[in-house]
Amino acid sequence: MGYGDLIAEAVRDAQDDMSQVNAAAQAILAAIRSAGPWLTDQTWTGQAADTWCGDWNSFYRQIQGLLANQLPGAEVQVVNQVRSQMEQLARQHPGPVTPS
C-alpha cells in the first residue's frame, strides 16, 4: 500500500464521519423547523408567553446558525485538515509504507 492509498482512505473515513454529522444536524434542524409553527401568537397571547417565545426563537436561531452555516464549513475544514496532515506525513517519511 502506498501513501496515496493511505491518504485516500483517511480522507474517505473523515468524509464518512462528516456525512453522519451532517445527517444528524439535518435531523435536528428539521425538528426545530417543525416546532416553529406551533410557537407563535396563534397558540397563545400574553406577555409571559411572548417573552418565553422570543427567548426560545433567539436561542434556536443560534443553534440553526451553528448547524446550518458553521458546521458545514467545519466539516469541509476537517476533511481538508485530514488530507493535509496525511500529505505532510508522507513528505516527512518518503519511501514505501511497511505493513504493520
Partner 1 sequence: MSDYAAVDPDRVAKAATALENLRDALAAHVPAIVSTMNSYSSPVSLGILRQAQARSVIDAADMRARSQLAYRLAALDSQMMVCPPGGLVSIPWDGPTVDAAAAQADAQLLAQAESNPTDPQSRADIQAVTLDIQDHLSDPAYLTAFYNQAAPMVAKLAAALHAMDAGAVPANYNSRFAVLTPADEKILTTFGTGLAAADKAGLSPQAVAQIVNAPDLWSASMLVKFGPPGSAYATQEGTGAQAQPSLLAQLTQKVFEAQQAGKIALPLGGWNVGMQDRDQIENALSAFDPLSALLQRDAENKAAAWQVLGGQDGNALANMLLNNPYTKYTYSNETSPPGSGRFPATFTGYGPTQKLDGLELIYMNWLPDQTVANFLDAATSGGRGTGNPSDPVNPYKLSAQAAVNIIENTPPPWSDNGKAQPSFSPAVTHALTDTFLRYLPDIAASAGYNGKDPFVTQYAGGKGPWTLNIPSGQLSNYLMQLSADPNNYGYIKGAVASKMGVAFGMKVQGITDGTNDDPYADLASLYGRLVTEENNLNFSAAQQQDAENAELNSIVSFGESFIGDIPVVGGPANQLLSYDQRFAVLGIPQVPQFSTGNASQALQAGRQNFTDAQLKAMIPLIQGLAQQGVIKPQPSWYQNGQVIPNNAFWEWWRENKATGITNKSLAGNPTKELDEWYQETYEWMKLQNDSYAKTQ
- Residue type present at position 11: V
In the numeric block, the cell 451553528 is attached to 66
Q: Which three cell numbers stand for residue 8?
A: 485516500
44-70 in b/e form (b: 16+ CB < 10 A) is eeeeeeeeeeeeeeeebeeebeebeee
Contacts with partner 1, 10-49, as mask; x by CB under 8 A: ----x--xx-xx--xx-xx-xxx-xx--xx--xxxxxxxx
| Nearer CB in complex with partner 1: 17/87 | 17
- Identify the residue among 6, 10, 11, 74 touching partner 1 (CB under 8 A): 74
* Nine-digit cell string for 14: 473523515
State the residues that interact with partner 1 by CB under 8 A: 14, 17-18, 20-21, 24-25, 27-28, 30-32, 34-35, 38-39, 42-49, 52, 56, 59-60, 62-63, 66, 70-71, 73-74, 77-78, 81-82
